[in-house]
Amino acid sequence: MGLSGIVSEEIKSSTMKGEISRKSFSLAMAIPSLLMLLIGLALTFADPDRLLAMKLAPSALILAGMQVMFVCGGVILLALGLLIHATGRLVKKSE
């Protein structure tokens, strides 16, 4: 037995079409993801001993986790932002 939603399907559909087609919606994902990716790459290519000496991370394991988190998170969010941007352009063309 399905539950009916508070918001009608028509309103959900028109709201999503309106948001996806806006450039700012995809940029809201793409710009922070680029920043995350840059931080991850900076952590990856920096000298780990120097970063540990600055107490950026308490151990090399946590530093490696930070690298993975920033690089993977940045790549995934950037891909989503670009996908939403491309989808928004397709939605605009179909209207």
* pLDDT averaged per 10 residues, the chain (length 95): 66 67 80 95 93 90 95 94 80 62
pLDDT for residue 81: 87
The CA distance from 95 to 91, in Å, is 7
In order of 2, 19, 36, 95, the CA distances from 23 in angstroms are 34, 9, 20, 16
Supply the pLDDT for residue 1: 46
- State the first-to-last Cα distance of the chain, in angstroms, to the nearest integer: 34
**pTM of the predicted model, to two decimals?**
0.72
